[in-house]
Chain A
Amino acid sequence: MLHRRGFWMAASLIGIVCLLSIQPSFPQKCEVRYPGLAACPNEHCTVVMVGKKASTDGSVISTHTSDCGSCDWTWRYVPAADHDQGATRRIYYFDQFGTDPPRKGLRWDAIEDNFTGFEIPEVSHTYGYLHGMFGYMNDNQVALGESTIGCREQMENSTSAPKFDITMLTLIAMERAKTAREAIQLMGDLAVKYGYGHTDSGEMLSVSDPNEVWIFEVMPVGPLWTPDSGQPGAVWCAQRVPDDHVSVCPNESRIGEIDLKNKDYFMASPNVVSFAVEQKFYDPKSGKPFNWKRAYCPSEYSAQSSFGSRGRLWRFMDLVAPSKQFSPGTPNMDLPFSIRPEKKLSVADVMVILRDKYDGTPFYTARGLQGGPFENPNLLPYGFELDGKKYDTGRCIGVNRAEYVTVTQSRDWLPDPIGGIVWIGFGAQDTHCLMPFYQGVTRIPESFEFGDHWEFDRRSARWAFDYVDFHTQVVYSYAIKDVRKAQEKWEKAAIDRTPEIDAYALQLYKKSPDQARQYLTDYCNNNANLVVNAWWSLGDELMVKYMHFWYYDIRERKREPLKYPEWWLREVVRYNQLSPQPETKK
């Protein structure tokens, strides 16, 4: 009897031990392999945020410069939809750096190829939204901007265990969120529950609505996370930008010390501190308060120490609060989370900031030889390598590799279809033109929906702007004046016209919201089509006007040689060891 009981007890024990061995527990401790270093990107997007009391008209403003150079630039409008009970939402992977040839069809039609095999319960109603690489603004004026901030390398999770990446999170937020806070909680919960990462590392989103703007930062928790571990699959934190402040995210984590008791200003995942402690990124016994960015994404650069490659943060602060005289030598991590601007910012002011090339600073990207004879600020945007050494050349906010740029306005004094505006500009900021799309639009131009970097196509709106950009680079100091005139004519005019469009749309809205939507759709599409056509014409004009480094006066049908600056001519004489022509005797 004892013998048999012993056998069964032993058998049970073996069974339990075997079962436990199926799924090892999620590692609680991991050595810090790269102390003090994080995988900090500096080539990508910039986000500017303006609280409603910091803008001239009460708008909450956010931006996204989708800086890449080889990524997708296509847009689509996703209409609102109702769903049956029991319906599910398919989850897809989106590689931010992925792009397909246009012959494969529209990007978002081909997305089935990237189905993760994972679905979540669908909600009964999903909101409509404008969709570029990310979701940008939905029916409730909830708006987003994105900047890759990186994280400690050992936190990255490029496996297929996490089911959400940043793009998918933004789409779900667009579909389901009524407010910025709802969007943050929703994205955070999904990331924690189903895992976050895949092709994305640490990411920042500006999340705004007509009342407020937040910075939301989310990071993976390492490649050994598994969905069945019961552990959070992400760590995240969010901080609200005070209403009378502005802020910026230039590929760097911006959230420092946090106060989770202050719920109006902070939100976070339950593991926000504990994960850092487990991973030895933060020692509670150090006597120092927990600091999100120092724990998860430390970097010790300043504008000065990085020769301007990490100068956007300092530059922004200096532009909006010049009297503070921020030093370019101040480590970025010591610069404030947000700041009250000395002058409230209009949407046009924000657009100017997005075009900044560090003018007037030691990091000016057209400084001296770097800009060549025509003061071109775009000649060396990535720095360069020489004799085995790498050199930085200044990474400005208005770098010339934007796929597109967005400026969103959320305005609480207008109904949502009129209050929300997404300004979209294709290509580099210095040569593009921002075009308004009210939240109420129900379609966008077809020319916005396709095209890629590798096949020139006159049907693609983006190529019109690249066409102008290409012809501007050759004789930048001359051609950019023509471009600015065109921007004045089209972009500034659209900004100036906004109150008039608002008023008429509101008049219609009171009678019929559908009529207002139709009017806004027609206005935005017509304006965009006119701008795209104008840019094709501008490209043609620039080609003729500056052909062969001459100036062809189109009206007068005369030509004259372009003037080269004396300093450059002296350099040519010096470097090429030119001798002056012998003086001829009179």
Chain B
Amino acid sequence: MRHIQRTLVLPFLVVGLVSLVLPGWGQESVPRARLPVLTTSAGQSADVNTLNVIMDQAGMKYDYCDVPTAAVVKSGVGLGGAKARAGFHVEVTTDVSRFKPGTPYQTVVFAVGASLKGMGASGLTVDAEVKRVSEIIQYCRQNKIMVIAVHPGGQSKRGAPGSDNERMIDAVMPFADYIIAAKDGNKDGRFTKIAKEKSIPFSQVDYALGIVGLMKKAFE
């Protein structure tokens, strides 16, 4: 009886424990991020929509702007009262009773992925987008604002060296404080390599849903 009990239960225990460990294999632990947080896009693809849905699902309150400048980021919570207009989307959900308008952001999360259509809608060229993103990252580094780079789009948001997608990755990933990528987009180990070379904590997920838990953990 005891034998049967062990035979039945032991696999459960082993598989269960392994399942806890597996997602962390070859990965850094999730670094701690602080509020208030701004979500934005590097490349103007629909991946920023994915990012915002993830944040919603994680129960996060955040500000969102698809094409902020460094000056807009500098204006902090509420984005300086910037109004949404064609090609410039703004949404403020940060709890202003906790963080007054103007409170500097502690974290900026980029959804990395290029879309010519999206950039066109915002009146941007690839060069202009790289410049804009680089200026924000420079501002974040100077002001110790954590940068999280999320690449949820998978293989379709990758490309040949020098392609729009790779340029966005080059503009953001090596300067991030935390990289999260869907496994499908890391088949060639590009993100793993960047993370290793730059000693950046890195998490890989099977699906975008996996990022919800990581965000919860980072901001808990």
A-side interface residues toward B, CB under 8 Å? 4, 8, 11-12, 14-19, 21-22, 24, 26-27, 30-31, 33, 70, 93, 95, 97, 153-154, 156-161, 198-199, 201, 222-226, 385, 390
**Contact string against A for B residues 42-74, beta-carbon threshold 8 Å, 1 for contact and 0 otherwise:** 000111011011101100000000000000000
| CB <8 Å contact, A18 and B20 | yes
Chain B contacts for A390, CB-based, 8 A: 86
A8 to B152, CA, bound (A): 40
Are B49 and A223 closer than 8 Å at their CB atoms?
yes
Q: List 15 A-B contacts (CB under 8 A).
A: A4-B2, A14-B13, A18-B19, A22-B19, A26-B209, A30-B56, A156-B49, A158-B113, A160-B182, A160-B185, A223-B54, A224-B207, A224-B212, A225-B209, A385-B123
- With A15-B13, A15-B17, A224-B54 known as contacts, the answer to whether A161 contacts B208 (CB < 8 A) is yes
Q: When each residue 188-220 of chain B gets 1 if its CB lies under 8 Å from chain A and 0 otherwise, what string results? A: 000000000000000000111100110000000
* Cβ of B24 to closest chain A Cβ, rounded Å: 13
Please classify how large the interface on chain B is, using the bins under 10, 10 to 19, 20 to 34, 35 or more. 35 or more
Given contacts A24-B209, A156-B46, contact A224 B53 (CB under 8 A): yes
Question: With A and B bound together, what is the CA distance between A21 and B155 in angstroms?
Answer: 26
Known contacts A15-B9, A224-B57, A226-B209: A158-B16 contact under CB 8 Å: no
Task: Please give, as numbers and ranges, the residues of chain A lying within 8 Å of B52 by CB-CB distance.
Answer: 33, 154
Chain B residue nearest in CB terms to A11: B13
Residue of B nearest to A160 (CB): B154
Query: Across the interface, do A15 and B208 meet the contact criterion of CB distance under 8 Å?
Result: no
User: Would you call A154 and B16 a contact (CB within 8 A)?
Assistant: no
Q: Are A30 and B12 in contact (CB under 8 A)?
A: no
Report chain A residues within 8 Å CB of B53: 30, 154, 222-224
| A27 contact from B45, B57, B113, B123, Cβ within 8 A | B57
Tell me which of B46, B56, B207 contacts A158 (CB under 8 A): B46
Interface core residue of B6, B13, B53 (most chain A CB under 10 Å): B53
CB–CB B12/A12 < 8 A: yes
Residues on B with beta carbons closer than 8 Å to the beta carbon of A223: 49-50, 53-54, 152, 208
In the complex, the answer to whether A159 meets B16 with C-beta atoms within 8 Å is: no
Task: Please give, as numbers and ranges, the residues of chain B lying within 8 Å of A97 by CB-CB distance.
Answer: 116-117
Given contacts A18-B17, A160-B156, 12 further A-B contacts (CB under 8 A): A11-B12, A12-B12, A12-B13, A14-B13, A14-B17, A16-B16, A24-B209, A33-B91, A158-B49, A158-B50, A158-B152, A224-B208
Q: Are A8 and B5 in contact, with the CB atoms below 8 A? A: yes
Q: A95: which B residues are within 8 A, CB to CB?
A: 156
Which chain B positions have C-beta within 8 A of A199?
A: 156
**Given the contacts A21-B20, A27-B57, A199-B156, A153 and B116 also touching, CB distance less than 8 Å:** no
- Which residues does B use to contact A, with CB under 8 Å? 2, 5-6, 9-10, 12-17, 19-20, 45-47, 49-50, 52-54, 56-57, 86, 91, 113, 116-117, 123, 152-156, 182, 184-185, 206-209, 212-213
| B residues less than 8 Å from A21 (CB atoms) | 19-20
Closest to B157 in A: A158
Residues in A neighbouring B47, C-beta threshold 8 A = 158
Question: Which one of B5, B9, B10, B208 lies within 8 Å of A159 (CB-CB)?
Answer: B208
CA distance A3 to B74 in the complex (A): 60
**Interchain nearest-CB distance for A487 vs B (Å):** 32
Inter-chain CA distance A226–B52, complex, in Å, is 17
Asked if A12 contacts B50 (CB within 8 A), the reply is: no
4 A-B pairs with the lowest CB-CB distances in the bound complex, closest first: A18-B16, A160-B154, A15-B16, A15-B12
Which residue of B is nearest A1, CB measured? B2
Contact of A226 among B12, B56, B207 (CB under 8 A): B207
- Given the known inter-chain contacts A8-B5, A160-B156, A198-B156, please indicate yes or no for A15 contacting B207, CB distance below 8 A: no
List of A residues within 8 angstroms of B117 by Cβ? 97
A118 to chain B, nearest CB (A): 11
A304 to chain B, nearest CB (A): 19
A224 and B153 CA atoms in complex are apart in Å by 12
